[in-house]
Structure 1
């Protein structure tokens, strides 16, 4: 199952834990009134009195967990799958440590390159299924399951939360299922044709029922002698799609339709 997106409060709590952990470590390793030795080792990595930290470029330093043992009393303040290694943006090819798309969708695009209106927009599960002709199993059972975030329904807060997916990941999954966007378009046209055919059949059926109802209300019965009619062969009236047969004895005509 896709992991639930962290709330604003949870993210703030994690950042406070990071800051507190760093402060405690630095107090343990720093003598009173001593001067810290800060050295830049490589891009985004600095050394503070021999302890390596990664500059998150977000206002705090992250201790390099690969080089140091984690203090069991302090912990790390990180989620288990948090990876401090720099990520290369797919768009600008620059390194970054964290972004909205990377954190929520594992999609390596930095916040500076994120195009939330078009290229990296979010799409609801219902719209994705209708537009790209996907099934529930394509979201949840195909590997890897598509990641999503939950958001309250803007139309009614009492309705269930919406699942929002990242558009480029939905399009990639659609290509896995249908092989090409041309195939998806063909399937849309095929479905539309079937819908139009069904609508046309229903319209014709309803129209014929209406005609029969109107004719029945306007039909004037012809008074005939009290005897049993013996009808000849029926005649088809092409003009109004009815049939007529005439009694051989009294010339009484019976007009009717066939369903």
Structure 2
């Protein structure tokens, strides 16, 4: 008849301490092995399961220690474990002293953050159309305006664009035209001239179409015949320049020439 195993109650305090030390050592070794090979340990673990519980009338799903609230619309909202931002202590931000910040030389930087303004630079064509400036006003009139060159975004094979500072374009326009009222008047005057030219081109084209459609009413040979000058017999002699001037009797054209 074999001996019966001794009960744990028969162990001495020394044996219990030794067993506890061995158990802690084994746990530490297992933890170190999981830290060194986390993916290998994940394969050996059993698949995670989700547990649904009901708390305060709300369906809560627990997965791997994380809690998700069922919104009822097909979405799971993760429940925050930390404190909200409202509970965090607020830090008083010191407002920048605008008066003490020096004004940038180029006027293209924000006084508070120092970033460049996105709409500070304008193309030269904008200065031509809106402020009625010419190339000489931008590049030759003193002081010459600074600009930056950029590739044309529409076609890289075209020439580079010149971008001028918006505030400097406005100052140069006031320098050229004297005041904003004069600039507005000049723009209105040019618009009127443009409309007159447009009407003249329209009437000329309309007349050509009528001549093409009703050719019997027009003598094309007369209209297309070249003009021949009939010079006046009286010539005017200029002694200082040693030249002669004569005038056409039909059209009034004057011609100045020299005699050998």
TM-score band, normalised by shorter chain: 0.3 to 0.5
Higher RCO (C-alpha 8 Å, min separation 6): 1
Q: TM-score, normalised by structure 2?
A: 0.41
Higher helix share goes to which structure?
2
Work out which of the two has the higher radius of gyration on C-alpha atoms and give 1 or 2.
2
